[in-house]
Structure 1
Amino acid sequence: MRLGGRERHIIRNAAEEVFGSEARVLLFGSRVDDARRGGDIDLLILLDDSSDNADMMTLGEKRVRYLVMLEKAIGEQKIDLITALPGDDRAIVAIAVATGVEL
C-alpha cells in the first residue's frame, strides 16, 4: 500500500468525525499496488443507513467537509471519494470492496 501511516490515520479519523464511528474506509485503485507509481487516492466510505447518511443533501455536505479536512491535513492531493449506503449495487462499489484495503 502506497499510503503512509500518518495519511491512513488522518483519513480514518476524518471519516469517523464526519460520517460517524460506524463508517468503514477502503483504499482501492493504484495506491493499493506497491509496484505502481503515482496515482490519485481512491477511497470508498461504507456508511450505515442512519437518517443523516440517507439524506442526500446532508451526505453531499459531509463529502465536501471530509475532502476539505483531508486537504488541510495532508495537503492538496487528487482524491476520488465514493460513499455507499447498505445495498448500493453500483459496479464501482463492488470493485472497491473486492480489491480494496480497509484503513
Structure 2
Amino acid sequence: MRLKHQEISAIRGTVDAHFGPGSAIWLFGSALDDHALGGDIDLYVEPTAPHAENLFLARQACGRELEQRLKRPVDLVVRRGSPTAFMRQAMQEGQRL
C-alpha cells in the first residue's frame, strides 16, 4: 500500500466527518501496488450515519476535501442500499483502512 500513516489518518477523519464515525473504508485499485507510481486513490465507503438527503452532494464534498488534503485525485464509491458487484469486488480485493 502506498499510503502514509498521515494520509490514512486524513482519510479516516474526513470520511468520518462526512459519513459518520467508524464508517468502513476500503482502499482498492492502483494505490495498493507498492511498485506503481502516481495515480489516484480509490476508496469504497460504507457509512455508519444515516444517508444525507443528497448522497451525491455529500460524496462530492467528501471527495473534494480528500483531494485538497491529500493533494491527489480521489475516486470515492459510497454504499447506498445493497452492495453492487463492483462494491463487493472492492471489499474483496481491497484493503480495509
* TM-score, length of structure 1 as denominator length: 0.81
Q: Matched residues in 1 for 2:63 and 2:26: separation?
A: 15
Preserved CA contact (<8 Å) 1:31 1:40: yes
For structure 1, the residue ranges without an aligned partner over 5 or more in a row are: none
Q: Matched residues in 2 for 1:17 and 1:49: separation?
A: 10
For structure 2, the residue ranges without an aligned partner over 5 or more in a row are: none
How do 1:20-31 and structure 2 match up within 5 A? 20-31=20-31
Residue aligning to 1:74 = 70
Kindly provide the amino acid, as one letter, of the partner of residue 72 in structure 1. Q
How do 1:27-46 and structure 2 match up within 5 A? 27-46=27-46
Moved over 6 A (4+): none
Report the RMSD for the aligned CA atoms in angstroms. Answer: 1.8
- For the residue of structure 2 that corresponds to 1:61, the secondary structure is helix
Preserved CA contact (<8 Å) 1:18 1:62: yes
Q: Matched residues in 1 for 2:22 and 2:6: separation?
A: 21
Kindly provide the amino acid, as one letter, of the partner of residue 20 in structure 1. G
Preserved CA contact (<8 Å) 1:18 1:66: yes
Once the two structures are TM-superposed, the CA of residue 43 in structure 1 deviates from its matched residue by: 0.5
1:101 aligns with 2:79: no
Once the two structures are TM-superposed, the CA of residue 87 in structure 1 deviates from its matched residue by: 1.9
Once the two structures are TM-superposed, the CA of residue 60 in structure 1 deviates from its matched residue by: 1.4
1:2 aligns with 2:7: no
Q: Matched residues in 2 for 1:19 and 1:10: separation?
A: 14
Count of residues paired in the alignment = 97
- For the residue of structure 1 that corresponds to 2:86, the secondary structure is helix
Q: Matched residues in 2 for 1:71 and 1:42: separation?
A: 11
